[in-house]
Amino acid sequence: MEFITAAFVGLLGILIYLLIKYPDRSIGTKPRTDLNGPKGYPLIGNILDIYKDNKGLLMFMCETLTKYGPNATFTLPGLGRVVTINNPECIEHVLKTNFENYYKSPALYSIVYDVFGDGIFNSNGNAWRMQRKLSSHLFNGRNFRNIFCVVFEEETKIVLNTLDKLARTGETFDLQDLFFRITFGLDFNCLKNLKDPVKFATSFDFAQRVMNDRVENPFWKITELFTEKGHKMRKACDYLSTFAYDIIKNHRNNPEALKDPRDILNIFMNAQHDNGEKLTDKELRDVVINFIIAGRDTTAQTLSWMMYNLMVNPSAEEQLIKEVNSLLTSENTISNYENIKLFQYTQAVFHETLRLHPIVPKSLRICLKDDVLPNGVPIYAGEMVNWSSWSMGRDERIWGNDARQFNPKRFLNSEDGLKPSQYKFISFHAGPRICLGQNFATVEAIMLATAVLKQFKFEMVPGQKCPPDYARSLTLPMKDPLLVKVHHRQY
Protein backbone atom coordinates (compact mmCIF):
# COMPACT_ATOMS: atom_id res chain seq x y z
CA MET A 1 0.00 0.00 0.00
CA GLU A 2 2.83 2.37 0.85
CA PHE A 3 4.42 1.60 -2.52
CA ILE A 4 1.20 2.44 -4.37
CA THR A 5 0.82 5.66 -2.43
CA ALA A 6 4.43 6.63 -3.14
CA ALA A 7 4.02 5.82 -6.82
CA PHE A 8 0.83 7.88 -7.00
CA VAL A 9 2.48 10.84 -5.28
CA GLY A 10 5.47 10.53 -7.60
CA LEU A 11 3.32 10.47 -10.72
CA LEU A 12 1.27 13.38 -9.42
CA GLY A 13 4.48 15.31 -8.81
CA ILE A 14 5.68 14.59 -12.35
CA LEU A 15 2.33 15.70 -13.76
CA ILE A 16 2.38 18.94 -11.78
CA TYR A 17 5.95 19.58 -12.92
CA LEU A 18 4.99 19.03 -16.57
CA LEU A 19 1.91 21.25 -16.24
CA ILE A 20 4.07 24.02 -14.88
CA LYS A 21 6.77 23.55 -17.54
CA TYR A 22 4.33 23.27 -20.47
CA PRO A 23 1.39 25.47 -19.44
CA ASP A 24 0.29 26.43 -22.97
CA ARG A 25 2.14 24.17 -25.38
CA SER A 26 2.66 20.51 -26.24
CA ILE A 27 5.11 18.49 -24.20
CA GLY A 28 8.72 18.61 -25.34
CA THR A 29 8.52 22.02 -26.99
CA LYS A 30 10.37 25.20 -26.08
CA PRO A 31 8.54 28.49 -25.51
CA ARG A 32 8.55 31.08 -28.32
CA THR A 33 7.52 34.33 -26.68
CA ASP A 34 8.98 36.22 -29.64
CA LEU A 35 6.18 34.98 -31.94
CA ASN A 36 2.43 35.43 -31.86
CA GLY A 37 0.04 32.56 -32.15
CA PRO A 38 -3.01 30.89 -30.65
CA LYS A 39 -2.57 29.94 -27.02
CA GLY A 40 -2.48 26.20 -26.51
CA TYR A 41 -3.49 23.87 -23.70
CA PRO A 42 -1.08 22.35 -21.18
CA LEU A 43 0.82 19.32 -22.57
CA ILE A 44 -1.32 19.01 -25.72
CA GLY A 45 -0.80 22.43 -27.28
CA ASN A 46 -3.27 23.38 -30.01
CA ILE A 47 -4.55 19.93 -30.95
CA LEU A 48 -8.07 20.73 -29.67
CA ASP A 49 -8.19 23.83 -31.88
CA ILE A 50 -7.97 21.52 -34.89
CA TYR A 51 -10.94 19.47 -33.74
CA LYS A 52 -13.01 22.49 -32.65
CA ASP A 53 -16.07 22.78 -34.90
CA ASN A 54 -14.51 19.96 -36.97
CA LYS A 55 -12.40 22.56 -38.79
CA GLY A 56 -9.33 20.41 -39.44
CA LEU A 57 -5.68 21.39 -39.75
CA LEU A 58 -6.01 23.32 -43.04
CA MET A 59 -8.70 25.68 -41.79
CA PHE A 60 -6.86 26.10 -38.49
CA MET A 61 -3.75 27.12 -40.43
CA CYS A 62 -5.74 29.64 -42.47
CA GLU A 63 -7.32 31.18 -39.37
CA THR A 64 -3.91 31.39 -37.71
CA LEU A 65 -2.47 33.14 -40.76
CA THR A 66 -5.36 35.60 -40.95
CA LYS A 67 -5.28 36.50 -37.26
CA TYR A 68 -1.58 36.38 -36.41
CA GLY A 69 0.20 37.07 -39.68
CA PRO A 70 2.61 35.19 -41.91
CA ASN A 71 4.99 34.23 -39.09
CA ALA A 72 2.96 32.72 -36.26
CA THR A 73 3.47 29.63 -34.14
CA PHE A 74 1.53 26.78 -32.57
CA THR A 75 2.36 23.37 -31.12
CA LEU A 76 0.97 19.91 -31.78
CA PRO A 77 1.74 16.59 -30.09
CA GLY A 78 3.87 14.46 -32.37
CA LEU A 79 4.94 17.39 -34.54
CA GLY A 80 6.17 19.75 -31.81
CA ARG A 81 6.67 23.46 -32.42
CA VAL A 82 5.40 24.69 -35.82
CA VAL A 83 6.29 28.12 -37.23
CA THR A 84 4.33 29.39 -40.24
CA ILE A 85 6.27 30.97 -43.12
CA ASN A 86 3.39 32.15 -45.28
CA ASN A 87 5.25 34.84 -47.20
CA PRO A 88 7.26 34.60 -50.43
CA GLU A 89 10.62 35.70 -48.99
CA CYS A 90 10.62 33.13 -46.19
CA ILE A 91 9.42 30.38 -48.50
CA GLU A 92 12.23 31.11 -50.95
CA HIS A 93 14.72 30.89 -48.08
CA VAL A 94 13.43 27.51 -46.92
CA LEU A 95 12.84 25.95 -50.34
CA LYS A 96 15.84 27.35 -52.17
CA THR A 97 18.42 29.46 -50.33
CA ASN A 98 18.88 27.09 -47.38
CA PHE A 99 17.27 24.05 -49.01
CA GLU A 100 19.59 21.48 -47.42
CA ASN A 101 18.59 22.58 -43.91
CA TYR A 102 14.91 21.70 -44.24
CA TYR A 103 13.86 18.07 -44.61
CA LYS A 104 10.70 16.05 -44.54
CA SER A 105 10.48 15.04 -40.89
CA PRO A 106 10.58 11.44 -39.58
CA ALA A 107 7.07 11.92 -38.19
CA LEU A 108 5.62 12.82 -41.60
CA TYR A 109 7.70 10.12 -43.29
CA SER A 110 6.10 7.55 -41.00
CA ILE A 111 2.61 8.93 -41.58
CA VAL A 112 2.65 8.36 -45.34
CA TYR A 113 5.18 5.52 -45.65
CA ASP A 114 2.75 2.62 -46.00
CA VAL A 115 1.35 4.26 -49.16
CA PHE A 116 4.22 6.28 -50.67
CA GLY A 117 7.14 4.24 -49.32
CA ASP A 118 10.46 5.82 -50.26
CA GLY A 119 9.10 7.42 -53.41
CA ILE A 120 10.01 10.88 -54.61
CA PHE A 121 7.37 12.63 -52.48
CA ASN A 122 8.54 11.01 -49.25
CA SER A 123 12.31 10.81 -49.61
CA ASN A 124 15.23 13.06 -48.73
CA GLY A 125 18.89 13.28 -49.64
CA ASN A 126 20.44 10.87 -52.13
CA ALA A 127 17.28 8.76 -52.53
CA TRP A 128 15.36 11.86 -53.57
CA ARG A 129 18.13 13.09 -55.88
CA MET A 130 18.33 9.77 -57.71
CA GLN A 131 14.57 9.68 -58.35
CA ARG A 132 14.53 13.35 -59.26
CA LYS A 133 17.26 12.80 -61.85
CA LEU A 134 15.46 9.82 -63.38
CA SER A 135 12.11 11.59 -63.38
CA SER A 136 13.53 14.65 -65.12
CA HIS A 137 14.20 12.53 -68.21
CA LEU A 138 10.46 11.94 -68.56
CA PHE A 139 9.55 15.54 -69.15
CA ASN A 140 11.82 16.65 -71.98
CA GLY A 141 10.36 18.12 -75.17
CA ARG A 142 10.72 14.93 -77.20
CA ASN A 143 8.75 12.88 -74.69
CA PHE A 144 6.06 15.55 -74.61
CA ARG A 145 5.52 15.34 -78.33
CA ASN A 146 6.00 11.60 -78.84
CA ILE A 147 4.47 10.19 -75.67
CA PHE A 148 2.48 12.53 -73.48
CA CYS A 149 0.64 14.57 -76.10
CA VAL A 150 -0.39 11.38 -77.88
CA VAL A 151 -1.81 10.05 -74.60
CA PHE A 152 -3.49 13.39 -73.85
CA GLU A 153 -5.21 13.39 -77.23
CA GLU A 154 -6.42 9.82 -76.77
CA GLU A 155 -7.76 10.65 -73.30
CA THR A 156 -9.48 13.77 -74.63
CA LYS A 157 -11.26 11.80 -77.34
CA ILE A 158 -12.53 9.33 -74.74
CA VAL A 159 -13.87 12.19 -72.63
CA LEU A 160 -15.58 13.80 -75.61
CA ASN A 161 -17.29 10.53 -76.54
CA THR A 162 -18.41 9.99 -72.94
CA LEU A 163 -19.80 13.52 -72.65
CA ASP A 164 -21.58 13.15 -75.98
CA LYS A 165 -23.46 10.10 -74.61
CA LEU A 166 -24.30 11.92 -71.36
CA ALA A 167 -25.55 14.97 -73.28
CA ARG A 168 -27.81 12.76 -75.38
CA THR A 169 -29.32 10.99 -72.36
CA GLY A 170 -29.59 14.13 -70.25
CA GLU A 171 -28.67 12.28 -67.07
CA THR A 172 -27.11 13.86 -64.01
CA PHE A 173 -23.58 12.75 -63.16
CA ASP A 174 -20.65 13.60 -60.89
CA LEU A 175 -18.18 15.64 -62.93
CA GLN A 176 -15.33 15.20 -60.45
CA ASP A 177 -15.75 11.42 -60.55
CA LEU A 178 -15.66 11.51 -64.35
CA PHE A 179 -12.36 13.40 -64.34
CA PHE A 180 -10.87 10.98 -61.84
CA ARG A 181 -11.81 8.08 -64.09
CA ILE A 182 -10.07 9.42 -67.18
CA THR A 183 -6.85 10.83 -65.77
CA PHE A 184 -5.17 7.76 -64.34
CA GLY A 185 -2.84 7.25 -67.30
CA LEU A 186 -3.58 3.54 -66.80
CA ASP A 187 -6.37 1.39 -68.18
CA PHE A 188 -8.80 0.84 -65.32
CA ASN A 189 -11.62 0.10 -67.76
CA CYS A 190 -13.77 2.36 -65.57
CA LEU A 191 -15.65 4.50 -68.10
CA LYS A 192 -17.99 1.72 -69.21
CA ASN A 193 -20.34 2.40 -66.31
CA LEU A 194 -19.90 5.60 -64.32
CA LYS A 195 -21.99 4.16 -61.50
CA ASP A 196 -19.57 1.31 -60.83
CA PRO A 197 -16.97 2.15 -58.18
CA VAL A 198 -13.30 1.66 -59.07
CA LYS A 199 -11.52 -0.32 -56.36
CA PHE A 200 -8.18 1.35 -56.91
CA ALA A 201 -9.75 4.81 -56.69
CA THR A 202 -11.74 4.06 -53.55
CA SER A 203 -8.70 2.49 -51.87
CA PHE A 204 -6.38 5.32 -52.89
CA ASP A 205 -8.77 8.09 -51.82
CA PHE A 206 -9.51 6.39 -48.49
CA ALA A 207 -5.79 6.02 -47.79
CA GLN A 208 -5.23 9.72 -48.46
CA ARG A 209 -7.97 10.69 -46.02
CA VAL A 210 -6.50 8.44 -43.34
CA MET A 211 -2.98 9.83 -43.84
CA ASN A 212 -4.38 13.34 -43.46
CA ASP A 213 -6.14 12.29 -40.24
CA ARG A 214 -2.84 10.92 -38.93
CA VAL A 215 -1.31 14.40 -39.04
CA GLU A 216 -4.07 15.50 -36.66
CA ASN A 217 -3.86 12.42 -34.41
CA PRO A 218 -0.51 11.91 -32.61
CA PHE A 219 -1.71 8.50 -31.36
CA TRP A 220 -2.65 7.09 -34.76
CA LYS A 221 -0.27 4.13 -34.50
CA ILE A 222 -2.21 2.96 -31.46
CA THR A 223 -5.76 3.88 -32.43
CA GLU A 224 -5.49 2.29 -35.87
CA LEU A 225 -4.68 -1.06 -34.24
CA PHE A 226 -8.15 -1.24 -32.74
CA THR A 227 -10.45 0.71 -35.05
CA GLU A 228 -12.35 -0.19 -38.19
CA LYS A 229 -10.61 2.70 -39.94
CA GLY A 230 -7.25 1.15 -39.16
CA HIS A 231 -8.41 -2.23 -40.45
CA LYS A 232 -9.68 -0.68 -43.69
CA MET A 233 -6.44 1.26 -44.05
CA ARG A 234 -4.34 -1.90 -43.87
CA LYS A 235 -6.56 -3.57 -46.48
CA ALA A 236 -6.36 -0.50 -48.74
CA CYS A 237 -2.56 -0.37 -48.50
CA ASP A 238 -2.27 -4.09 -49.23
CA TYR A 239 -4.44 -3.67 -52.30
CA LEU A 240 -2.47 -0.66 -53.58
CA SER A 241 0.83 -2.50 -53.17
CA THR A 242 -0.51 -5.61 -54.88
CA PHE A 243 -1.83 -3.44 -57.70
CA ALA A 244 1.56 -1.80 -58.22
CA TYR A 245 3.48 -5.07 -58.02
CA ASP A 246 1.12 -6.61 -60.59
CA ILE A 247 1.88 -3.74 -62.99
CA ILE A 248 5.60 -4.42 -62.59
CA LYS A 249 5.19 -8.19 -62.94
CA ASN A 250 3.03 -7.91 -66.05
CA HIS A 251 5.53 -5.50 -67.53
CA ARG A 252 8.44 -7.85 -66.97
CA ASN A 253 6.47 -10.68 -68.60
CA ASN A 254 5.68 -8.62 -71.70
CA PRO A 255 8.73 -8.56 -74.02
CA GLU A 256 7.10 -6.06 -76.37
CA ALA A 257 6.47 -3.59 -73.57
CA LEU A 258 10.07 -3.87 -72.41
CA LYS A 259 11.26 -2.88 -75.90
CA ASP A 260 9.03 0.18 -76.17
CA PRO A 261 11.24 3.31 -75.80
CA ARG A 262 8.11 5.39 -75.18
CA ASP A 263 7.11 3.37 -72.13
CA ILE A 264 7.53 5.41 -68.95
CA LEU A 265 8.04 2.43 -66.63
CA ASN A 266 10.94 1.24 -68.82
CA ILE A 267 12.94 4.32 -67.90
CA PHE A 268 12.86 3.28 -64.26
CA MET A 269 13.22 -0.45 -64.87
CA ASN A 270 16.41 0.19 -66.86
CA ALA A 271 17.77 2.80 -64.44
CA GLN A 272 20.74 2.06 -62.20
CA HIS A 273 22.01 3.24 -58.86
CA ASP A 274 25.51 4.67 -58.61
CA ASN A 275 26.77 1.17 -57.76
CA GLY A 276 25.34 -0.21 -61.02
CA GLU A 277 22.42 -2.07 -59.44
CA LYS A 278 18.95 -1.72 -60.95
CA LEU A 279 15.91 -0.66 -58.95
CA THR A 280 14.30 -3.39 -56.85
CA ASP A 281 10.64 -4.26 -57.20
CA LYS A 282 10.00 -2.38 -53.93
CA GLU A 283 11.61 0.75 -55.37
CA LEU A 284 9.61 0.37 -58.59
CA ARG A 285 6.44 -0.10 -56.53
CA ASP A 286 7.11 3.25 -54.84
CA VAL A 287 7.68 4.88 -58.23
CA VAL A 288 4.34 3.59 -59.56
CA ILE A 289 2.32 4.80 -56.56
CA ASN A 290 3.99 8.21 -56.45
CA PHE A 291 3.46 8.80 -60.16
CA ILE A 292 -0.18 7.78 -59.97
CA ILE A 293 -0.97 10.44 -57.36
CA ALA A 294 1.04 13.00 -59.35
CA GLY A 295 -0.78 12.29 -62.61
CA ARG A 296 -4.22 11.48 -61.32
CA ASP A 297 -5.00 13.93 -58.54
CA THR A 298 -3.36 16.99 -60.02
CA THR A 299 -5.32 16.97 -63.28
CA ALA A 300 -8.63 15.56 -62.05
CA GLN A 301 -8.99 17.90 -59.10
CA THR A 302 -7.82 20.99 -60.96
CA LEU A 303 -10.26 20.33 -63.81
CA SER A 304 -13.10 19.84 -61.31
CA TRP A 305 -12.44 23.13 -59.53
CA MET A 306 -11.82 24.86 -62.88
CA MET A 307 -15.18 23.78 -64.33
CA TYR A 308 -16.97 24.74 -61.12
CA ASN A 309 -15.45 28.23 -61.20
CA LEU A 310 -16.47 28.69 -64.82
CA MET A 311 -20.03 27.56 -64.12
CA VAL A 312 -20.45 30.15 -61.34
CA ASN A 313 -18.56 32.88 -63.24
CA PRO A 314 -20.32 33.05 -66.63
CA SER A 315 -18.35 36.13 -67.77
CA ALA A 316 -15.10 34.16 -67.36
CA GLU A 317 -16.57 31.23 -69.25
CA GLU A 318 -17.73 33.54 -72.04
CA GLN A 319 -14.25 35.02 -72.45
CA LEU A 320 -12.64 31.58 -72.40
CA ILE A 321 -15.04 30.27 -75.05
CA LYS A 322 -14.28 33.30 -77.22
CA GLU A 323 -10.58 32.45 -77.05
CA VAL A 324 -11.21 28.75 -77.72
CA ASN A 325 -13.30 29.48 -80.80
CA SER A 326 -10.61 31.75 -82.18
CA LEU A 327 -7.97 29.00 -81.92
CA LEU A 328 -9.87 25.75 -82.53
CA THR A 329 -12.03 24.89 -85.53
CA SER A 330 -14.63 22.27 -86.31
CA GLU A 331 -11.90 20.32 -88.12
CA ASN A 332 -9.23 20.79 -85.43
CA THR A 333 -11.13 20.43 -82.18
CA ILE A 334 -8.16 19.42 -79.99
CA SER A 335 -5.16 21.65 -79.37
CA ASN A 336 -1.58 20.44 -79.59
CA TYR A 337 1.68 21.02 -77.77
CA GLU A 338 2.78 23.79 -80.12
CA ASN A 339 -0.32 25.97 -79.78
CA ILE A 340 -1.03 25.52 -76.05
CA LYS A 341 0.86 28.75 -75.30
CA LEU A 342 -1.65 30.67 -77.42
CA PHE A 343 -4.47 29.95 -74.96
CA GLN A 344 -3.44 32.75 -72.63
CA TYR A 345 -6.81 33.41 -71.01
CA THR A 346 -7.35 29.68 -70.53
CA GLN A 347 -3.97 29.46 -68.83
CA ALA A 348 -4.98 32.40 -66.62
CA VAL A 349 -8.14 30.51 -65.63
CA PHE A 350 -6.01 27.42 -64.91
CA HIS A 351 -3.60 29.40 -62.70
CA GLU A 352 -6.39 31.25 -60.91
CA THR A 353 -8.04 27.91 -60.16
CA LEU A 354 -4.81 26.58 -58.66
CA ARG A 355 -4.27 29.80 -56.70
CA LEU A 356 -7.57 29.27 -54.86
CA HIS A 357 -7.65 25.47 -54.99
CA PRO A 358 -4.05 24.17 -54.86
CA ILE A 359 -3.81 20.40 -55.07
CA VAL A 360 -1.31 20.22 -52.18
CA PRO A 361 -2.83 22.77 -49.78
CA LYS A 362 -0.35 22.47 -46.88
CA SER A 363 3.29 21.51 -46.35
CA LEU A 364 5.68 20.93 -43.45
CA ARG A 365 9.47 20.69 -43.11
CA ILE A 366 11.76 20.13 -40.13
CA CYS A 367 14.72 22.40 -39.46
CA LEU A 368 18.01 20.49 -39.09
CA LYS A 369 20.22 23.32 -37.75
CA ASP A 370 19.43 26.66 -36.13
CA ASP A 371 18.57 29.20 -38.81
CA VAL A 372 17.28 32.75 -39.26
CA LEU A 373 14.62 33.68 -41.84
CA PRO A 374 15.14 36.75 -44.08
CA ASN A 375 12.82 38.81 -41.85
CA GLY A 376 14.90 38.03 -38.76
CA VAL A 377 12.70 35.29 -37.29
CA PRO A 378 14.85 32.48 -35.83
CA ILE A 379 14.04 28.84 -36.50
CA TYR A 380 15.63 26.39 -34.09
CA ALA A 381 16.78 22.87 -34.85
CA GLY A 382 13.93 20.38 -34.47
CA GLU A 383 11.19 22.95 -35.07
CA MET A 384 8.83 22.57 -37.99
CA VAL A 385 8.14 25.22 -40.60
CA ASN A 386 4.75 25.24 -42.25
CA TRP A 387 3.21 26.99 -45.22
CA SER A 388 -0.22 26.63 -46.74
CA SER A 389 -0.68 27.44 -50.42
CA TRP A 390 -4.45 27.35 -49.82
CA SER A 391 -4.15 30.02 -47.12
CA MET A 392 -1.65 32.09 -49.10
CA GLY A 393 -4.01 32.18 -52.08
CA ARG A 394 -6.56 33.91 -49.84
CA ASP A 395 -4.11 36.30 -48.19
CA GLU A 396 -4.80 39.94 -49.08
CA ARG A 397 -1.24 40.85 -48.10
CA ILE A 398 -0.02 38.77 -51.05
CA TRP A 399 -2.80 39.03 -53.64
CA GLY A 400 -4.63 42.25 -52.79
CA ASN A 401 -8.12 43.08 -51.58
CA ASP A 402 -9.78 40.70 -54.06
CA ALA A 403 -7.66 37.72 -52.95
CA ARG A 404 -10.71 35.55 -52.26
CA GLN A 405 -12.38 36.34 -55.58
CA PHE A 406 -12.00 34.32 -58.78
CA ASN A 407 -10.34 36.75 -61.18
CA PRO A 408 -8.26 35.19 -63.99
CA LYS A 409 -7.33 38.64 -65.32
CA ARG A 410 -4.95 39.11 -62.40
CA PHE A 411 -2.52 36.83 -64.27
CA LEU A 412 -2.96 38.67 -67.55
CA ASN A 413 -2.48 42.12 -66.05
CA SER A 414 0.21 41.40 -63.46
CA GLU A 415 3.89 42.21 -63.75
CA ASP A 416 4.63 38.51 -63.18
CA GLY A 417 2.59 37.49 -66.22
CA LEU A 418 1.15 34.04 -66.73
CA LYS A 419 3.96 32.46 -64.71
CA PRO A 420 4.16 34.37 -61.43
CA SER A 421 6.95 33.95 -58.91
CA GLN A 422 7.00 30.34 -57.74
CA TYR A 423 7.44 31.59 -54.15
CA LYS A 424 4.24 33.62 -54.40
CA PHE A 425 2.26 31.19 -56.52
CA ILE A 426 3.29 28.08 -54.61
CA SER A 427 0.79 25.62 -56.10
CA PHE A 428 3.55 23.69 -57.92
CA HIS A 429 5.95 23.92 -54.96
CA ALA A 430 9.26 25.74 -55.54
CA GLY A 431 13.03 25.52 -55.47
CA PRO A 432 14.91 22.27 -56.16
CA ARG A 433 11.75 20.27 -55.35
CA ILE A 434 9.49 22.23 -57.71
CA CYS A 435 7.01 19.94 -59.44
CA LEU A 436 8.65 18.31 -62.44
CA GLY A 437 5.25 17.65 -63.94
CA GLN A 438 3.85 21.18 -63.86
CA ASN A 439 4.17 21.52 -67.65
CA PHE A 440 2.67 18.03 -67.97
CA ALA A 441 -0.35 19.03 -65.85
CA THR A 442 -0.76 22.37 -67.59
CA VAL A 443 -0.72 20.94 -71.12
CA GLU A 444 -3.02 18.05 -70.22
CA ALA A 445 -5.55 20.25 -68.42
CA ILE A 446 -5.67 22.94 -71.11
CA MET A 447 -5.81 20.44 -73.97
CA LEU A 448 -8.72 18.63 -72.36
CA ALA A 449 -10.56 21.70 -71.06
CA THR A 450 -10.47 23.61 -74.35
CA ALA A 451 -11.67 20.62 -76.38
CA VAL A 452 -14.47 19.88 -73.91
CA LEU A 453 -15.67 23.46 -73.54
CA LYS A 454 -15.71 24.05 -77.30
CA GLN A 455 -18.31 21.32 -77.71
CA PHE A 456 -20.10 21.15 -74.36
CA LYS A 457 -21.60 23.35 -71.66
CA PHE A 458 -21.99 22.18 -68.06
CA GLU A 459 -24.97 23.04 -65.88
CA MET A 460 -24.80 22.64 -62.10
CA VAL A 461 -27.73 20.82 -60.54
CA PRO A 462 -29.50 23.26 -58.15
CA GLY A 463 -29.28 22.81 -54.39
CA GLN A 464 -25.54 22.20 -54.09
CA LYS A 465 -23.31 24.14 -51.74
CA CYS A 466 -21.38 26.99 -53.37
CA PRO A 467 -18.49 26.98 -53.08
CA PRO A 468 -18.18 23.23 -52.49
CA ASP A 469 -16.48 22.04 -49.32
CA TYR A 470 -13.12 20.39 -49.77
CA ALA A 471 -12.53 16.91 -48.44
CA ARG A 472 -10.01 16.54 -45.63
CA SER A 473 -7.28 14.72 -47.49
CA LEU A 474 -3.60 15.08 -48.39
CA THR A 475 -4.75 16.73 -51.60
CA LEU A 476 -7.80 18.95 -52.22
CA PRO A 477 -10.71 17.03 -53.76
CA MET A 478 -14.27 18.24 -53.38
CA LYS A 479 -15.99 16.67 -50.40
CA ASP A 480 -19.26 15.95 -52.18
CA PRO A 481 -20.09 15.01 -55.78
CA LEU A 482 -20.14 17.88 -58.29
CA LEU A 483 -23.50 17.06 -59.83
CA VAL A 484 -24.02 18.44 -63.33
CA LYS A 485 -25.81 17.98 -66.60
CA VAL A 486 -23.98 18.47 -69.86
CA HIS A 487 -25.36 19.96 -73.08
CA HIS A 488 -24.03 20.27 -76.59
CA ARG A 489 -22.90 23.87 -76.97
CA GLN A 490 -25.08 25.85 -79.34
CA TYR A 491 -23.61 28.48 -81.67
pLDDT digits (tens, 9 = 90+) for 100-145: 999 999 999 999 999 999 988 888 888 888 888 877 776 766 766 7
Provide the terminal-to-terminal Cα distance of the chain, rounded to the nearest Å. 90
Give me the DSSP letters along 285-347: HHHHHHHHHHHHHHHHHHHHHHHHHHHH-HHHHHHHHHHHHHH--SS--S--TTTGGG-HHHH
Quote the pLDDT of residue 261.
62
- For 147-172, what is the mean pLDDT? 88
- For 391-407, what is the mean pLDDT? 93
Most confident stretch, 11-15, 32-36, 64-68, 247-251: 32-36
Quote the pLDDT of residue 299.
86
Quote the pLDDT of residue 149.
77
* Spatial distance between the Cα atoms of 357 and 427, rounded to a whole number of angstroms: 9
Quote the pLDDT of residue 432.
92
Quote the pLDDT of residue 6.
75
Residue range 78-488 in CATH 1.10.630.10 = yes
Residues 6+ apart with CB under 8 A from 347: 341, 411, 418, 442, 446
The total of other beta-carbon atoms located within 10 Å of residue 325's CB is: 14
Query: What pairs with residue 254 in β-bridges?
Result: none
The response to whether 435 counts as a known ligand-binding position is yes
CA-closest candidate to residue 123, choices 329, 309, 287: 287
Give the helix/strand (H/E) hosting 460. strand 456-460
The total of other beta-carbon atoms located within 10 Å of residue 425's CB is: 22
Lowest-confidence segment of 6-10, 68-72, 309-313, 442-446 by average pLDDT: 6-10
- For 49-56, what is the mean pLDDT? 88
Is 385 in a helix, a strand, or coil? strand
* Spatial distance between the Cα atoms of 124 and 122, rounded to a whole number of angstroms: 7
What are the domain boundaries of the chain?
A: 1-63, 78-488
* CB 122, CB 294: distance < 8 Å: no
Quote the pLDDT of residue 4.
78
Residue 252's pLDDT band (boundaries 50, 70, 90)? Answer: confident
Quote the pLDDT of residue 262.
60
How would you label 271-310 residue by residue, b for 16+ Cβ within 10 Å and e otherwise? beeeeeeebeeebbbbbbbbbbbbbbbbbbbbbbbbbbbb
Quote the pLDDT of residue 381.
97
* Spatial distance between the Cα atoms of 137 and 141, rounded to a whole number of angstroms: 10
- For 143-168, what is the mean pLDDT? 84
Quote the pLDDT of residue 292.
78
Mean pLDDT of the chain: 88
Percentage of the chain lying above the pLDDT 70 cut: 93
